[in-house]
Amino acid sequence: MARRLEITKEFIFALKESVRENDENVAIKLLGDMHAADIAEIYNELNIEGARFLFLLLDGEKASDVLAELDEDDREQFLKVLPSEVIAQKFIDHMDSDDAADVIGDLSEEKQQEVLLHIDDVEQAGDIVDLLSYDEDTAGGLMAKEMIEVNENWTILTCLKELARQADEVDEVYYLYVIDNDNLLKGIVSLKKMLLTNNATKINSIVDEDIMSVKTDTSSEEVAMIMDKYDLVALPVVDSIGRLVGRITIDDVVDVIREEAEKDYQMASGLTEDVESSDKVLRITRARLPWLLIGLAGGILGAMVLGKFESSLKIYPEMIFFIPLIAAMGGNVGIQSSALIVQGLANKTLRTDRTIQKLGKEFIVALVNGLLLAGLIFLYNFFTSDSFALTITVSISLVSVIIFAALVGTTIPLVLNRYKIDPAVATGPFITTMNDVLGLLIYMLIGRGLYAVFTG
């Protein structure tokens, strides 16, 4: 019953054979009932000619579904080798307006124009032009134009006729959207309610007016938050005066939610652009370099700090050995603290008006961790080192650095958030680097002071 298919090496091999031998029958049979998402997955296995050969075998509906599922980069590369006319008539004509706008939006200005002029269905072309005007990261950029709109004065029967008329165009119908004569959104009617209501009833007697909607300029992040929080599968989009202009479905929002989470993860890992391991060397390098430069600057600052204490290091050379420990611990604790805050802010479980309490709690957690670790390193040094000054210095420095790093890691994302800067940039290399340097400073200061006490 399931159309799902494990994509085996044997399958890929057979498919490549069919491409090499230009054997359309075998290829069609292999692709058979495969889901578009699965076909898109094997795109990476093929060269561009192979992909074109297979694409042109698929019927328009399936081919355009596959195109919509492709990675942006792969799609761009693939569309480059196709004439505008083929793009328009083989693909765009069969696509939902939101997918079509995404695809066309990635083309060059010039090619966009050409493709738009070759679309046979003028309504579709118009919808795409409308959608292209919205920012990608807003409700307008997420929404599709395909939905069933019905007038509040219609009967169920008239609504049913409208549904039948548009049934081919709108794949997934969850609700009918009820509008008045001015196109203002009045509410929604679920298909379940339609099925359970007499055909002669007027639609406005069963309309649910107590619904959520967003404006075209609502950020995609907020759209995702709303649909997630209120468990919605579809969300109507209205313009600034409340006229219905589109709807967003949950599948598009799932991508937003995942991308948001991935973005935070990438930031924390020191990647400044949305990259994948399949991207080009140049792009991956560019995404990594900014953080590494910060790390380099931090390293040079660290060298300067140590340079300032050169004389102390000469007198107490055993302090050198624990430089990596102090630096690393400051970085680790800083990341842990900031990650908790960043995540709490991202999923809205954190109340920002309780900064003092947060800091107090972080202080306690850091103190507990710090004392534990300092105790362990105290035991280690007590038994392996003959310098009691070193033993004391490392332990006290470790507690201090851990507490200090925890407070920095907690404060920085909260401050950034207050100034509307994405707190995710605070995690990862930035906080690590900062805590590295400050940790070294604390270590050297405590060391110099304590050694002076112990050695008089």
What residues numbered 48-107 form the site for a second copy, per CB under 8 A?
71
Element (H, E) at 200: none
Write down the least CB distance from residue 156 to a second copy, Å: 10
Is 326 one of the binding residues for a second copy (CB under 8 A)? yes
Considering only 28, 48, 261, 421, the residue that binds a second copy (CB under 8 A) is 261
Q: Which has the closest alpha carbon to 325: 398, 407, 399?
A: 398
For CA atoms 402, 404, 408, 414, the dihedral sign is: positive
Dist. CA 352–CA 344, nearest whole Å:
10
Write down the least CB distance from residue 190 to a second copy, Å: 8
Shorter beta-carbon distance to a second copy: residue 115 or 147: 147
Beta strands in 102-224 (DSSP E): 148-151, 175-179, 185-190, 214-215
Considering only 73, 132, 361, 454, the residue that binds a second copy (CB under 8 A) is 361
Q: Are 68 and 37 in contact (CB under 8 A)?
A: no
Is 340 one of the binding residues for a second copy (CB under 8 A)? yes
Give me the 12-51 binding string for a second copy, x by CB under 8 A, dash otherwise. ---------------------x-x-x------x-------
Is 379 one of the binding residues for a second copy (CB under 8 A)? no
Is 329 one of the binding residues for a second copy (CB under 8 A)? yes
Considering only 190, 201, 219, 355, the residue that binds a second copy (CB under 8 A) is 190
Shorter beta-carbon distance to a second copy: residue 2 or 122: 2
Write down the least CB distance from residue 251 to a second copy, Å: 4
Write down the least CB distance from residue 268 to a second copy, Å: 6
Write down the least CB distance from residue 164 to a second copy, Å: 5
Element (H, E) at 431: helix 429-455
Residues 129-168 touching a second copy, rule: CB under 8 A, are 160, 163-164, 167
Q: Per-residue b/e over 50-75, b at no fewer than 16 CB within 10 Å? A: bbbbbbeebeeebbbbbbbbbeeebb
Is 376 one of the binding residues for a second copy (CB under 8 A)? yes
Write down the least CB distance from residue 397 to a second copy, Å: 12
Q: Are 427 and 342 in contact (CB under 8 A)?
A: yes
Element (H, E) at 107: none
Considering only 64, 369, 400, 411, the residue that binds a second copy (CB under 8 A) is 369
Write down the least CB distance from residue 229 to a second copy, Å: 5
Shorter beta-carbon distance to a second copy: residue 107 or 309: 309
Shorter beta-carbon distance to a second copy: residue 108 or 308: 308
Considering only 26, 129, 206, 284, the residue that binds a second copy (CB under 8 A) is 284
Write down the least CB distance from residue 22 to a second copy, Å: 26
How many angstroms separate the Cα of 159 from the Cα of each of 94, 129, 210, 422? 25, 28, 20, 46
Write down the least CB distance from residue 125 to a second copy, Å: 25
Considering only 201, 219, 332, 355, the residue that binds a second copy (CB under 8 A) is 332
Is 404 one of the binding residues for a second copy (CB under 8 A)? no
Is 191 one of the binding residues for a second copy (CB under 8 A)? yes
Dist. CA 19–CA 48, nearest whole Å:
11
Considering only 306, 359, 407, 445, the residue that binds a second copy (CB under 8 A) is 306
Which structure tokens are listed for 358? 């947060």
Q: Based on C-alpha coordinates, what's the Rg of the chain?
A: 30
Residues 6+ apart with CB under 8 A from 64: 90, 91, 92, 93, 94, 95, 99
Shorter beta-carbon distance to a second copy: residue 117 or 212: 212
Is 41 buried (19+), middle (13-18) or exposed (0-12) by CB count in 10 A?
middle
Residues 213-252 touching a second copy, rule: CB under 8 A, are 213, 226, 228-231, 233, 250-251
How many angstroms separate the Cα of 108 from the Cα of each of 35, 49, 91, 111? 29, 22, 17, 5
Please give the size of the binding site for a second copy, defined by CB under 8 A: 122
Q: Which stretch binds a second copy (CB under 8 A): 75-83, 95-103, 123-131, 182-190?
A: 182-190
Write down the least CB distance from residue 349 to a second copy, Å: 6
Dist. CA 110–CA 120, nearest whole Å:
18
Write down the least CB distance from residue 419 to a second copy, Å: 20
Phi, psi (degrees; rounded to nearest 5) at 244: -70, 125
Q: Are 4 and 35 in contact (CB under 8 A)?
A: yes
Dist. CA 124–CA 116, nearest whole Å:
9
Dist. CA 415–CA 408, nearest whole Å:
10
Amino acid at 294: I
